[in-house]
Amino acid sequence: MKKLGAEFYEAPTLVLAERLLGKIFVHREASGRVTRGRIVETEAYLGEGDEACHAWRGMTERNRAMFGPPGTLYIYFAYGCHYLANIVSEPEGVAGAVLLRAMEPVEGVEWMRERRRKVDERALMSGPGKLTEALGLGPAHYGESLSGEICWLEDAPDLPPELIGASPRIGISRSAALPWRRFVTGSPHVSKTQIGAPSKKRKKGIGK
């Protein structure tokens, strides 16, 4: 498999979101353990005109990686429980990134199971928080370049258009109508979370 070069990532975010489907994400730890996953679900986040994007109001300490060079990782901590990984797109200076939402385990399933604790293979990477845990990605990889020796992508044939599905993004409330989610139609490894029913207001426990 051929490692994708930096030029692959310098593309409009929505275009990159589609091109990433089918590609192989690789993480090689210092210990030598290698894990590979095939990307089957993504979401595009743009700095301009997208209120769900962390960078829509400008650069902050947290989101500065989204303005950086394309082909780097933007990783952040969400909900107090999970790290989510994005691949930065667009030319340097323009905010944009593609959220990795789901993958199909390809190699290193044993390490994934160890990190995720006994779960069936379908649940190993079928969600953005799950796949970062399975791959062993975390804050240490913030801003990491995909042209380096730790994380990278390997090429794979582009998917035929009829296999690429589109829908609104999941789990957001601002700019929720934009159909910027992309996924491999029929893949059992796509996250199952449903988009419809935006459960009204999350009730916060008052007296705890």
Partner DNA sequence: GCGATGATGAACT
Partner DNA sequence: GTTCATCATCGCA
Mind giving me the DSSP string for 136-159?
T--GGGTT-BTTSSSEEEE--PPP
Beta bridge partners of 5: none
Give the interface size with DNA as a residue count (CB under 7 A): 46
> Which residues, 138 to 167, sit near DNA by CB under 7 A?
none
Q: Is residue 128 at the binding interface for DNA, with CB under 7 A as the rule?
A: yes
Name the residue type at position 161: P
Residue 28 DSSP SS3: strand
Min separation Cβ 152 and DNA, Å: 20
Residue 135 interacting with DNA (CB under 7 A)? no
Q: Contact with DNA (CB under 7 A): which of 5, 12, 69, 129?
A: 129
Cβ closest to DNA, residue 156 vs residue 172: 172
Give the other-Cβ count within 10 Å of 60's Cβ.
Answer: 10
Q: Measured between alpha carbons, how far is 148 from 150 in angstroms, rounded to an integer? A: 6
Task: Please say which residue, 186 or 205, places its beta carbon nearer to DNA.
Answer: 205
Pseudo-torsion of CA 186, 187, 191, 193, nearest 10°?
20
Q: Which is nearer to DNA, 1 or 15 (CB)?
A: 15
CB of 64 to DNA, least distance (A): 10
- Let me know: does 153 contact 2? Beta carbons within 8 Å: no
Which of 87, 83, 50 lies closest to 70 in space, CA to CA? 87
Which listed residue (27, 38, 54, 181) binds DNA by CB under 7 A?
54
Give the x-and-dash track for 2-41 against DNA (CB under 7 A): ----------------------------------------
Quick one: 77 or 148, whose CB is closer to DNA? 77
Task: Say whether residue 119 binds DNA (CB under 7 A).
Answer: yes
Per the CB < 8 A criterion, the answer to whether 144 and 72 are in contact is yes
Using the minimum distance from each CB to DNA, give the nearer residue, 5 or 176.
Answer: 176
| The residue type at 20 | L
Helix 109-116 to helix 128-135 angle, to the nearest 10 degrees?
110
Using CB under 7 A, list all residues that contact DNA: 43, 45, 52-55, 57, 60-63, 66, 74, 77-82, 84, 86, 97, 99, 116, 119, 123, 127-130, 169-174, 191, 193-194, 197, 199, 202-205, 208
